[in-house]
């Protein structure tokens, strides 16, 4: 299979926080890959901005190192890397100060697409938006890209939306959730809406339940201070898991347009019922032989913050009235995996004599590792010996399907940045979606706080607390194994 690369229009992209972790690990290595593939026009420019007193050559040296370290491939020939680095500039700017803005303005060309990536703490979004406007750097066609976390509750998300709205229209604001940039996520929509097979079965009549798991093996790493004030509910469920749930549950939009898709996602969030306290399990990882506990990692011996959440939710509409959605996410789990599993109902009638096993079709959509899908189907066990049935996966791992091109499969960040340049907001969260997600999440978190809820401990390297298993067992179901 040959992937096609269609170049985007010429652009100037300013990365505020251009020296930060995200810029060095994801944004710039991703842009380099787009440059190498021919998608980023050779004349386009990337301008890093942060407070550090660097000159452009110092910045290029920093980014060269980052691309070598985080580029994730062996194809980076020096000539191409040099050409890419020549497209980089650097300006020292404090988001809260007035220095550097006129220099930035002088670097930006008139007749190209202008995008501003706010890869800084959200507390600086307002300062940046205001100064871009005051110094007449952004125009009515410019785009801004903002990173998560987008607020920590409904009130702060509303305040952030209001701040950005003072200077930018909604059509200019790209709220990034890199989960939406994954190849599989888009393929999920292609599979659902592009095949006659699935859509007729995609409802409570045929789907028993849906499981969404996002498991990480890492702990809080160097983000302990931030994470301990956030927790898995704010850090993962409110954004990534909710977005995946929306894509699975939404009605087919009339056309595949940004607002049409986001209108349908919003309806799903609004149809989510409040979650009852006994349908949620919070967990916190404990120490194991070779790993510290969560509390040691965040240096807070009395922390009640959750590093794990499992819950059962209901989307209250015609399509999903009887189909529960089980969500689960955690840190220090037994394997790193992100997966959505659509578990279909049993056949009503067993016609094969002697076959007492339960056979179920399961469509598993893997976001990582090995992006792809498999559909579990029941067949006859090969060979003589009568009609013995077995379940086998019809496997579509993208790396197999794409062959050599899999190496070039666009990473989520680079795909999303190219969408920003194209002006396509389909895979970005709209302000009202984010607010609706917080409106659903807030009462859950407030309930925990009011009850002084203590998370259940689980062993690092496990599948989470036993209570999470019980959440499913009570309903006669079970979680799929967490496999890397
Ligand atoms: N890292 C990730 O994997 C990740 C994932 C998802 C979301 N995010 C979000 O992305 C944003 C950036 O994260 P990060 O991990 O890159 O953070 P980081 O490593 O701490 O980098 C922050 C960047 O902001 C710059 N900065 C800080 N204060 C500034 C100011 N007053 N004016 C201008 N620049 C300023 C810093 O450079 P100077 O100190 O030189 O100014 C640095 O370049 C955060 O909102 C984070 O929540 C990060």
Which ligand 1 atom is the nearest neighbour of the CA of 50? 34
Full strand arrangement of the beta sheet holding 207-215: 389-397, 372-380, 362-368, 337-344, 207-215, 324-330, 308-314, 280-286, 456-459
Strands 372-380 and 280-286: unpaired
125 C-alpha vs ligand 1 centroid, how far in Å? 11
For helices 154-165 and 125-134, give the axis angle rounded to 10 degrees. Answer: 10
Tell me the average pLDDT of the chain: 92
Q: What is the pLDDT of residue 76?
A: 61
Rounded to the nearest whole angstrom, what is the distance from the C-alpha of residue 245 to the centroid of ligand 1?
29
What is the CA 44 to chain-centroid distance, rounded? 27
Q: Whose CA is nearest to atom 4 of ligand 1?
A: 22
Nearest ligand 1 atom to alpha carbon 26: 3
Of residues 104 and 289, which shows the higher confidence score? 104
pLDDT confidence bin for 2, thresholds 50/70/90:
low
Q: What integer pLDDT is reported at residue 442 of this predicted model? A: 97
Q: What is the pLDDT at residue 388?
A: 84
234 CB near ligand 1 (under 6 Å): no
pLDDT of residue 369: 85
What is the predicted pLDDT for the residue at 221? 83
Q: What is the mean pLDDT of residues 254-273?
A: 96
Q: Give me the pLDDT at residue 482, please.
A: 94
Residue with the smallest CA separation from ligand 1 atom 20 is 20
Measured from the CB, is residue 51 less than 6 Å from ligand 1?
yes
Q: What is the pLDDT of residues 235-247, one digit of tens each?
A: 999 999 999 999 9
> What's the confidence (pLDDT) of residue 207?
97
pLDDT value at residue 177: 93
Catalytic site positions = 240
Return all residues near 207 (Cβ < 8 A) that are at least 6 apart: 201, 323, 342, 343, 344, 345
CA 191 to each of CA 187, 197, 280, 375: distance values in angstroms, whole numbers, following the listed order: 6, 9, 31, 12
List of residues 6+ apart from 50 with CB closer than 8 A: 16, 17, 18, 19, 20, 92, 93
pLDDT digits over 111-160, tens only? Answer: 999 999 999 999 999 999 999 999 999 999 999 999 988 999 999 999 99
Across residues 339-353, what is the average pLDDT?
89
Atom of ligand 1 nearest to the CA of 226: 47
pLDDT at 249: 97
- Name the residue of 17, 66, 151 to mutate for ligand 1: max ligand atoms within 8 A of Cβ: 17
Q: Model-level pTM? A: 0.94
- Evaluate the omega torsion of the peptide bond into residue 330 and state whether it is cis, within 30 degrees of 0: no
Indicate the top mutation candidate among 120, 218, 240 to test ligand 1's pocket, ranked by most ligand atoms within 8 A of CB: 120
User: What value does the mean pLDDT take over residues 170-189?
Assistant: 92
User: Of the residues 22, 48, 240, which should be mutated to test ligand 1's pocket, given the most ligand atoms within 8 Å of the CB?
Assistant: 22
Strands of 300-361 (E only): list them.
308-314, 324-330, 337-344
Mean pLDDT to the nearest integer, 199-223: 94
Residue 23 CA to ligand 1 center (angstroms) comes to 8
pLDDT at residue 8 greater than cutoff 90: yes
pLDDT confidence of residue 120:
96
For residue 1, the model assigns a pLDDT of 56
CA distance 25 to 63: 9
How is 107-153 classified by DSSP, letter by letter? HS-SSSEEEEEE-S-GGGHHHHHHHHHHTT-S-TT-EEEEPSP--SS
């Amino acid at each position: 299979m040959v992937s096609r690369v269609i170049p985007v229009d010429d652009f100037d992209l300013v990365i505020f926080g251009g020296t930060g972790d995200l810029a060095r690990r994801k944004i710039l290595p991703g842009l380099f890959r787009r440059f190498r593939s021919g998608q980023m026009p050779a004349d386009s420019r990337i301008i890093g901005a942060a407070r550090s007193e660097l000159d452009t050559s110092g910045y290029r040296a920093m980014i060269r190192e980052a691309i070598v370290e985080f580029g994730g491939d062996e194809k980076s020939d020096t000539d191409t890397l040099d050409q890419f680095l020549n497209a980089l500039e650097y300006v020292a700017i404090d988001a809260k100060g007035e220095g550097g803005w006129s220099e930035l303005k002088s670097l930006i060309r008139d007749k190209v697409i202008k995008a501003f990536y706010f890869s800084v703490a959200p507390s600086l979004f307002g300062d940046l938006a205001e100064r871009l406007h005051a110094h007449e750097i952004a125009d009515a066609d410019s785009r801004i890209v903002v990173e998560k976390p987008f607020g920590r509750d409904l009130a702060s998300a509303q305040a952030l939306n209001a701040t950005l709205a003072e200077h930018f229209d909604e059509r200019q604001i790209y709220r990034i959730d890199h989960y939406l940039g994954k190849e599989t996520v888009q393929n999920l929509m292609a599979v659902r809406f592009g095949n006659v097979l699935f859509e007729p079965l995609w409802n409570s009549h045929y789907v028993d339940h849906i499981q969404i798991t996002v498991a990480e093996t890492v702990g809080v790493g160097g983000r302990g201070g931030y994470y301990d004030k956030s927790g898995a509910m704010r850090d993962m469920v409110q954004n990534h898991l909710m977005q995946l749930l929306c894509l699975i549950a939404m009605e087919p939009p009339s056309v595949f347009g940004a607002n049409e898709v986001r209108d349908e996602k919003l309806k799903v969030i609004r149809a989510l019922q409040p979650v009852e306290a006994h349908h949620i399990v919070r967990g916190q990882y404990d120490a194991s032989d070779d790993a510290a506990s969560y509390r040691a990692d965040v240096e807070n011996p009395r922390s009640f913050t959750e590093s794990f959440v499992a819950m059962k939710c209901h989307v209250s509409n015609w399509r999903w009235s009887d189909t529960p959605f089980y969500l689960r996410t955690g840190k220090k789990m037994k394997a790193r995996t992100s997966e959505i599993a659509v578990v279909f109902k049993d056949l009503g009638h067993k016609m094969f004599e002697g076959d007492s096993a339960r056979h179920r079709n399961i469509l598993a959509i893997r976001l990582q590792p090995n992006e792809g899908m498999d559909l579990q189907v029941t067949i006859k066990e090969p060979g003589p010996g009568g009609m013995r049935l077995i379940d086998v996966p019809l496997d579509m791992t993208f790396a197999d399907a794409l062959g050599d091109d899999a190496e070039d499969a666009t990473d989520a960040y680079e795909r999303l940045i190219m969408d920003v340049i194209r002006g396509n907001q389909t895979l970005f969260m709209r302000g009202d979606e984010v607010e609706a997600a917080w409106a659903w999440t807030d009462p859950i978190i407030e309930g925990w706080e009011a009850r002084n809820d203590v998370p259940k401990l689980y062993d690092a390297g496990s599948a989470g607390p036993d209570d999470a298993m019980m959440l499913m067992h009570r309903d006669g179901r079970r979680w799929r194994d967490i496999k890397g």
